[in-house]
Amino acid sequence: MLQGLGFCVWLTVRKSHPWWFASKTLCDETESDFCRPHVRLLQRASNPREAAITTPLTTGIFRVSKWTTPRAEILHAEGWPPLHRIVFDGQLGKNHMELEVARRFNTPFQMEDLNAAIDIFQTHPLSMTDAMRLIIRAEVPSVRRWKDISP
């Protein structure tokens, strides 16, 4: 039975990309669980195979629209507390997508958290270079227990 977010497919950066450190800094400042900066290509697949075959191989480069307009969003999954996220809008090819840079359960992000995101990210490049495609098992409401199960 599918639980939580099930199996997700993310497009993310390597540890050497500036967004990695920026996201780590933001999560520390906002008292959030570390959030690997990522674009969610798919969520709630019921198994890794479904996640792998239903997500097309990504072509193009994800690009953030601008660092001055982060948003606080809430993601709901049955049986979970609300998952609050900080995201920036962007484009992958012709598709509108979001870059998630911080998340935490139960506690909404406030305006000072969004301002911190602007301050931390504003000098960083707008493009996700050298991206990786990951399959993440996200079946429990504990970010620390989500696992990269990519082949």
**Domain range annotation of the chain:** 6-148
Mean pLDDT of the chain: 92
Residue of 2, 29, 148, 141 whose CA lies nearest to 82: 141
Write the DSSP assignment of 46-90 as a string of letters.
SSHHHHHHHSPPP-S-EEES-TT--EEEEE--TTS--EEEEEEEE
pLDDT of residue 134: 92
CATH code of the region 6-148: 3.90.1140.10
In the chain, the percentage of residues whose pLDDT exceeds 90 is 74
Stronger pLDDT, 2 or 21, i.e. the higher one? 21
Confidence of residue 35 (pLDDT cuts 50, 70, 90): confident
Confidence of residue 57 (pLDDT cuts 50, 70, 90): low
Mean pLDDT of 25-50: 93
Query: Can you read off the two tokens belonging to residue 69?
Result: 């307009």
Mean pLDDT of 35-52: 91
Q: Is 89 exposed, middle or buried (0-12, 13-18, 19+ CB in 10 A)?
A: middle
pTM of the predicted model as reported, rounded to 2 decimal places:
0.93
Query: Can you read off the two tokens belonging to residue 100?
Result: 């998630």
Give Cβ neighbours of residue 11 (< 8 Å, ≥ 6 apart): 38, 39, 41, 58, 62, 92, 128, 131, 132, 133, 134
pLDDT in tens, 90-149: 999 888 999 999 999 999 999 999 999 999 999 999 999 888 999 999 999 998 899 999
- Residue type for position 112: E
Strand pairing class (132-138; 62-64): unpaired
